[in-house]
Chain A
Amino acid sequence: MNRREFAAGALLALALRPAAGLATPEDQAAAIRAFTGGVVPREGRVELDIPPLVENGNVVPLKVTVASPMTTADHVTAIALFNEKNPQPQVVTARFGPRAGRAELATHMRLATSQFITAVAAMSDGSFWSTRQEVIVTLAACIES
């Protein structure tokens, strides 16, 4: 093997290297199925407020709001957030009851790279609603120190 072949081989090996332990959109779909018990959530009722362009993936503020009267008969029981390309698809799962007042959750998350974030809400009547939003990240979190 001459030097040129070696360089080409090394480049090919680098290009073929699998992304180090990151989740995939399939992992996200599987995590959502595990949360809903196999039900495909319908689009709507959930609002995900997250900046579309993020400079620092270490701290990304976000807010999830679900349209619900929050009464004993009709309320949101849980809100879950899922990512596509962090090491794990789960972000946060919040449990609510009628005493929560409003179905609102705000937190700060990490983003390893640009990806779609999905918010799923579970209702007391057994239905699931979701929304997704794309986020572009310029400085990644999680993997680098």
Chain B
Amino acid sequence: MARVLLNLPRSAARGAVIEIRTLIMHPMESGFRPGTNGTILPRDIITRFTCDYDGEVVFQAELSSAIAANPFISFTTVATESGTLSFTWEGDDDFRQTETRAITVT
């Protein structure tokens, strides 16, 4: 399991726009870099990031080799109801990791 940093408020006023910052520890090997023996290292990147709010997709990003190692993604969403935000990273070699955070909307 890769280490994940998630920065979002635990509670928010109804209708407020909240900023979510995410970072996952991942080498994002580009597939264009030669290794120590001169052959090109195979690509190993995160290709897709999805944020669900109570099961509905609110943000999605398709990443490429041009994204830096330990991909950082920041976006916003509207705090509509108290519920669960789930964050999923998918990538090469069947990489898949999901983290969830609860949010209280007042």
Taking beta carbons and an 8 Å cutoff, which residues of A are in contact with B?
Answer: 21, 58-61, 63, 83, 86-88, 90-97, 99-102, 104-110, 141-145
Q: Is the CB of B32 within 8 A of A92?
A: no
Q: Are B62 and A110 in contact (CB under 8 A)?
A: no
- Chain A residues within 8 Å of B77, by CB: 99-101
In the complex the two chains form, is B75's CB within 8 Å of A99's CB? no
B residues less than 8 Å from A101 (CB atoms): 17-18, 76-78
Size class of the contact patch on chain B: 20 to 34
Partner of B59, one of A83, A94, A110: A94
CA distance A64 to B53 in the complex (A): 22
Counting chain A CB atoms within 10 Å of each CB, which of B57, B66, B68, B77 scores highest? B66
Any A CB within 8 A of the CB of B24:
no
Are B71 and A99 closer than 8 Å at their CB atoms? no
Give A125 to B62 CA distance when docked, in angstroms: 22
Residues of A within 8 A of B30 (CB): 87, 110, 142
Asked if B60 contacts A109 (CB within 8 A), the reply is: no
**Closest-CB distance, A106 to chain B (whole angstroms):** 4
A86 to B60, CA, bound (A): 23
Contacts of A145 in B (CB 8 A): 33-36
Summed over the interface, the residue pairs from A and B with CB atoms below 8 Å come to a total of: 106
Are B59 and A95 in contact, CB atoms less than 8 angstroms apart? yes
A92-B61, A93-B62, A99-B77 given as contacts; is B68 within 8 A of A142 (CB)? no
A59 partner residues in chain B, CB cutoff 8 A: 68-69
Chain B interface residues (CB < 8 Å from chain A):
17-19, 21, 30, 32-36, 53, 56-69, 71-78, 80
CB neighbours (8 Å) of A100 from chain B are 58-59, 75-78
Q: Pick the most buried of B21, B32, B65: most chain A CB atoms within 10 A of its CB.
A: B32
The 7 A-B pairs at the shortest CB distance, nearest first, are namely A101-B17, A106-B74, A108-B68, A95-B60, A101-B78, A94-B61, A91-B66
